Amino acid sequence: MGGCPYDVTDKRDVRRLRRGKAVEGIHEKAFIQANNEPDDEFFSRQGLDSLMDMGARTAVTALYRTTLPVGGRTLDVMAGAMSHMPEDAVFQELIGLDVNQAALDANNVLSLATVQNLNTTPQLPFEDQSFDGVVMCDGLAYLTQPQVVFEEIYRVLKPNVPFIVSFSDRFLPEKAVAIWQALEPEDRVRFTSALMARTGFTDLDTGEVAPPEDLTAWKDTVRAVIGRRPAGQ
**Cα gap 131→38, rounded to integer Å:** 29
Instruction: Report which DSSP code applies to 31.
Output: G
> Which domain range does residue 124 map to?
11-228
Q: Which pLDDT belongs to residue 217?
A: 67
Whole-number Cα distances in Å, 146 to 31, 57, 65, 136, 139 = 9, 23, 26, 12, 10
Q: What is the pLDDT of residues 116-134, one digit of tens each?
A: 999 999 999 999 999 999 9
Instruction: Give how many domains the chain has, as a whole number.
Output: 1
Residue 100 in any domain: the answer is: yes
The answer to whether residue 4 is domain-embedded is no
User: Would you say residue 18 has pLDDT above 60?
Assistant: no
Q: How confident is the model at residue 46 (pLDDT cuts 50, 70, 90)?
A: confident
In a domain, 62, yes or no: yes
Segment 21-45 mean pLDDT: 81
Q: Is residue 27 part of a domain?
A: yes
> What is the rounded average pLDDT of the residues 163-186?
95
Instruction: Classify residue 118: in a domain, yes or no.
Output: yes
Q: Does residue 99 sit within a domain? A: yes
pLDDT of residue 216: 67
Distance (Å, whole) CA 233 – CA 231: 6
What is the Cα–Cα distance from 71 to 67, expressed in whole angstroms?
12
What is the CB-side half-sphere exposure of residue 136 using CA atoms within 13 A? 21
- CATH code for position 37: 3.40.50.150
Mean pLDDT estimate for the chain = 87
Predicted local confidence at residue 214, as pLDDT: 66
User: Would residue 121 count as lying in a domain?
Assistant: yes
Single pTM value for the model = 0.86
Q: Is the pLDDT of residue 35 over 80?
A: yes
